[in-house]
Amino acid sequence: MHDQEPSAPLRTVATSHTLPKSREARKKLIVALDFPTAPAALALLDRLEGSCEWFKVGLELYLNAGNGIVETILSRGHSVFLDLKLHDIPNTVGGAIRSVAPLGITMLTVHAFGGPAMLTAASDAAASSPNPLTLLAVTVLTSMDNFQLESIGITETPANQVLRLATVAQACGIPGFVCSPQEAAQLRARFPQNTIVSPGIRPSGAAKGDQARIATPANALAAGADYLVVGRPITQAADPAAAARAILDEMSVGLAEAD
């Protein structure tokens, strides 16, 4: 484990209060490109041009389209959150990070369940990257509840397990976390300088789908999340750009209330 607290390079940018709230909200919204193919993902990107700045590439899309989809998104001037949830032996995870870091992605996920040795190897690999790269430790998936944790032998509540895993990750040099918005407040109180990314975001009145631990955009920001990941409420909307604007409006209200 690392003796010094890791820096959190995204945190200062994410909490800037010098921007209009609508502009600040755009810097905090990450649209999840959860599609099976590059053409489908790029079609949505076209529809959101000018509305969104951040896009998440997850495992399904990355396995199908590879580095090419990342390079295309970056070439259009957007930021990329590569959500691979790396979880393997330390040497393999370190090598994987060194392989993707030169792409120019901004954030990359590793799974905190990989343990201290793996997390330390990940931190060391990111530190050696020629490009700034923020690692995020995935704590407990937002689809998991108490029953799901108990079924795999974990008797902690999701909130306690999130805090335990985040504490281990931070000690290993990982500067950010992925957690549901329901745990964002406790992590913000414990780790005021670290980056917090929250999926499980549902706009007011939306169905929760297969997510177990969710919150509205305004509530997630109020809890301390720096970035919000939104997928289906935007990607499956009849008008994705209008859906994104509605979420950005909710975020702007939340940011204004936080002041």
Could you list the active site residues?
Answer: 83, 85, 88
232 is in an annotated binding site: yes
Q: In sequence order, which residues have a C-beta less than 8 Å from that of residue 66 and are 6 or more positions away? A: none
Separation between Cα atoms, residue 194 and residue 12, nearest integer Å: 10
170 is in an annotated binding site: no
Q: In sequence order, which residues have a C-beta less than 8 Å from that of residue 4 and are 6 or more positions away? A: none
73 is in an annotated binding site: no
190 is in an annotated binding site: no
DSSP 67-109: HHHHHHHHHTT-EEEEEEEE-S-HHHHHHHHHHHGGG--SEEE
27 is in an annotated binding site: no
90 is in an annotated binding site: yes
211 is in an annotated binding site: yes
58 is in an annotated binding site: no
239 is in an annotated binding site: no
DSSP H helices, 101-180, are: 115-127, 146-151, 158-171
The burial of 68, by beta-carbon neighbours within 10 Å (0-12 exposed, 13-18 middle, 19 or more buried), is given as: exposed
The two beta strands, 195-198 and 227-230, are: parallel
DSSP 59-72: HHHHHHHHHHHHHH
Separation between Cα atoms, residue 183 and residue 198, nearest integer Å: 9
56 is in an annotated binding site: yes
89 is in an annotated binding site: yes
Separation between Cα atoms, residue 136 and residue 130, nearest integer Å: 18
202 is in an annotated binding site: yes
Partnered with residue 32 across adjacent β-strands are 56
Cβ(209)–Cβ(232) below 8 Å: yes
4 is in an annotated binding site: no
85 is in an annotated binding site: yes
Binding-site residue set for substrate: 34, 56, 83-92, 142, 202, 211, 231-232
Binding-site residue set: 34, 56, 83-92, 142, 202, 211, 231-232
